[in-house]
Amino acid sequence: MAGLRKKQRIRLIIIGLVLMVSAAGMVGYAMQDGIEFFRAPYQIAEQQPGPTVRFRLGGIVEEGSLKRGEGLDTRFNIRDNVSSVPVRFSQVLPDLFKEGEMAIASGHLVDGVFMADSVLAKHDESYMPREVVDALKQQGVDHEGMEPVSGM
């Protein structure tokens, strides 16, 4: 009798563990499309992600790079102190979006051009996205001390 109860407990524990692992796997699989990692332009230059990889690209909108095309089609470059990435965006830009200011775009890279489906611009003079600050710090540069990217 005692052996039967022990076997039932062990079965319940095993079933519970299998259910927990299955639930964790389903949650991880469901979240996989919603996770977007941040990348700076220098990281794109070092290793370009595939066209199916969604990520956020952040940096400073390069001076003189903003070009408006037909309709809402807009092209500009996002740069850091090391390199620059061309961006294409086909929606309305935020009101505070302008050259020389910080921006973060979400999308994917196709043939060296970042195809953005959303763009965020800084909302006041003191704001700088944490990811951009961290990427610039890795380069040993602060936003105020940035110099133009050479060769662009």
Burial class, 72, CB count within 10 angstroms (exposed 0-12 / middle 13-18 / buried 19+) = exposed
> How many other β-carbons are positioned within 10 Å of the β-carbon of residue 99?
14
SS3 58: strand
- Distance between CA 97 and CA 122 in Å, rounded? 8
- Binding residues, by number, are 123, 127
What residues are designated binding site for heme? 123, 127
How far apart, in whole angstroms, are the C-alpha atoms of residue 95 and residue 137? 28
Q: How far apart are the first and last CA of the chain?
A: 81
Cβ(105)–Cβ(122) below 8 Å: no
